[in-house]
Amino acid sequence: MTVRISVFPAVVAVLAVGLAGCSTKQKSAPSSAAASSSASALPAPKVLTPKDAADKKPLRLKFGQPVGYQRDGVSITVAPRSIEKTQSTPEGLSGNFLDCGSWWRVTETWIIDVKPDNAWHSWRRDFQGVFGLFSEAQDKKYGFYSDVATSVISSEPADLDKALGLADRDWDRKAPLHFEQTGPQYLAACKINTAADGSAGTSQFVADDRPLVELEMTLPATEGQNPRTWPTLAIWTP
């Protein structure tokens, strides 16, 4: 029997953020005119609130269709555009605990607006972009999608997750933060190494070579919510 990584994505993503090293920073303005132009070309997003997310099943969307989530002074809009398997490990991720040899690049547009007095204090830690779904298998107890490829921050110059982290650090908190950019996000496609015996040098994860069939975005409805119970806001298919 094959054992998959049955963990909720948010926890793995937080671990990966710490190991990826995202301490350098950059300005919070849109990175380029091209980024702004590509974002403005999007159709109007379907906008959700915590109540919407709690009361409904995930939105079913196609690539290029944006979804917005508004909560406590924070607005997050995401639109995946394409996905492809990479031929090599993204920059800065060699040796990462999720570097199992299988990586996917998702090109997306992110538009983030944050008020200085927002009440969603953990928004930056909570938001990790999208996660890949190998299937729609769900955790039996909590119901989250458990068969996932996990977001990891790379050192690639255009990495969206890295760029947002840099923008957040440079934000002076006296004015609204606006971040608008189109670029890549990287997903680690791994499964638990059932042959691992715990000895030094044995990898905990090995490559999962199945195709990714969908992308999901999950975010909390309240501050401090158990990540196992975060609602899945949207699921995209190519």
pLDDT in tens, the chain (238 residues): 333 344 445 444 444 443 333 333 333 344 444 444 556 588 999 999 999 888 789 999 999 999 999 999 999 999 999 999 999 999 999 989 899 999 999 999 999 999 999 999 999 999 999 999 999 999 999 999 999 999 999 999 999 999 999 999 999 999 999 999 999 999 999 998 887 565 545 678 899 999 999 999 999 999 999 999 999 999 999 9
Nearest of 84, 98, 113 to residue 184 by alpha carbon = 84
Beta bridge mates, 184: 107
Cβ contact 205:56 at 8 Å: no
User: 92 Cβ partners below 8 Å, 6+ apart?
Assistant: 20, 21, 154, 155, 156
Rounded CA gap, 218 and 52, in Å? 13
Rounded CA gap, 177 and 45, in Å? 19
Place of tokens 């029997």: 1
Coil/strand/helix, residue 20:
helix
Question: Residue 70: in which H helix or E strand, if any?
Answer: strand 67-71
Coil/strand/helix, residue 160:
helix
pLDDT computed for residue 44 by the predictor: 94
Mind listing the domains of the chain with CATH numbers? Answer: 9-237 (2.60.40.1240)
Rounded CA gap, 124 and 170, in Å? 13
